[in-house]
Amino acid sequence: MSAGPTSTSNSALTGDLSGLIGKHLIYAYENGWKYELYVRNAETIESRCLMGPMFGRWSKNQSAKFVQLSGDLYKLAWVEPTGTTTNVILWLSDRRVHTTISYPQWMLDYPESTLGRYEDNLAAIIADRERGPTYPLTLVSSTGRITYLETRDPDDDTVIDRPPNRLPPGYADRTN
């Protein structure tokens, strides 16, 4: 019996992500908040807040981790520059989503620097994050429905390409 390390491929750990890559969806939580998500490739997501108190937030090329739990059931997880940790479970065929988010206290006290494109406000976000406090964390758990779902090509720069306030009227209300 060998005591040495064993090799496990990344695909063995993540499962088959082919049913997730390129997915573009809009989902609505029970409280009326709406978000948009695009799975850009096997390591990156893009997102926008379309309705709710965080309206205006959007991000391109956010590093994320994905795992196939079963069939078309996936878990996505990422940490934003704000220190916010997000875990999303997607049931694509059931068109359901469950999200658990951990917000650092400073985000609740003064979220202003985050209400735009993260990449454009990174210096202000980092300064606010460093000012803190980062603890306590507020844990929010929400369930919602996927109201819009399509498959796009991977790495498509046209999917999430502008802030939410520059989208056409009715964009967030599309269904399919």
Beta strands in the chain (DSSP E): 23-29, 34-41, 44-51, 58-63, 65-70, 73-79, 85-91, 96-104, 137-151
Q: Integer distance in angstroms from the first to the last C-alpha of the chain? A: 55
Catalytic residue among 27, 29, 38, 80: 80
Token representation of residue 122: 């990174």
| Residue 35: active-site member | yes
Catalytic residue among 35, 103, 118, 148: 35
| Residue 46: active-site member | no
Token representation of residue 97: 């989503």
Catalytic machinery residues: 35, 80
